[in-house]
A and B are shown apart, each in its own frame.
Chain A
């Protein structure tokens, strides 16, 4: 404990004369950091793709390493991560399957069953994700959003003041040549917070 507080206060003196314009930002952050031990709010976007689960696994292994037993004993150190899953909204009008090609409104029963299926799907994904978090002894909260994944995730990071957004590199669009899916790319450009894009290991060995 003494070691961490020592490093927290020392930079206040050392950081002062070195930098000009960034001093104000640093000085304001330092005291807060020393007190709260810089709990980072991490949000991980999960969907059905294996890439997003690998991203979660990577996050749990690297960011939330509680390898030191001393840290694990201290209740403060356990950080919360937010798992977010975005459901695509079911279009109520769709599937011009008939020969006429005219769109028709889906019957309410169809809508209901699709909605149920989506909820079950989300529940499955999130329970798997929660299980992974539990195994790594990390607290997690889940968030289900409905809408376009890219927009919803970026909005969620803003509203929740996330410190770091973690996404897989490729979601459901399985274009193998692209190293970065459109969703992750969109989030990389539009999210207001830092973003971590986790690439699956297989791609590294392919090239």
Chain B
């Protein structure tokens, strides 16, 4: 019993950000393979998988925060539909993440879906759980795309207060 207590005390928290992209699920899978599977059953980290569900308004405006007054009525009608859709995506992502964790026999994982922009959600999750590592996937966009579309991995590597691991899919693999 004392051993397990010591294990829990030593266990540090790892937050993995996932979204619907294959890349982030690959990042989760890669992390589990390298950092969890070899150490079964005494995993060195407590795993928390966080999905940032975009808020419906941000999903519509795609980064443009100003919604024209005339559009509001039309937008309001559409919002519940979009929200339901986003909830479905969140559920799908969570399920996929659960499947990946189960396939590697990593149990005792916390899955969280938080609403908001991925950048803020992940950095907040790190603070809240006092994580020592944040793992994100990276699309590997070029510099211009990154500047225009914004990059979660970029933001997190700058602003998260913990170690950040950016997992990229090797281009040589099929």
A→B interface (CB under 8 Å): 3-4, 7, 10-11, 14-15, 18-19, 21-22, 24-26, 29, 33, 37-38, 40, 58, 62-63, 65, 67-68, 163-164, 178-180, 184-185, 188-189, 191-199, 203-204, 207
Contacts and interface: CB of A to CB of B under 8 A. Distances in A.
B171 A7 contact: no
Interface string B1-25: 0000000001010000000001001
Given A7-B40, A58-B163, A63-B35, 13 more contacts: A11-B104, A14-B102, A15-B103, A33-B37, A38-B34, A38-B38, A68-B42, A188-B138, A188-B154, A191-B168, A192-B171, A199-B160, A204-B162
B172 to A, nearest CB: 8
Given A7-B37, A37-B38, A164-B34, A22 B165 contact: no
Contacts of B105: 7, 10
Dominant SS among interface residues on chain A: mixed
B70 interface: no
A194 B30 contact: yes
Given A14-B102, A21-B22, A25-B173, A62 B167 contact: no
B138 to A, nearest CB: 8
Interface string B100-128: 00111100000000000000000000000
B165 A196 contact: yes
Nearest to A16: B103
Given A14-B103, A63-B35, A4 B40 contact: yes
Contact of B163 (A18, A68, A189, A196): A196
B38 A4 contact: yes
Contacts of B163: 58, 196-199
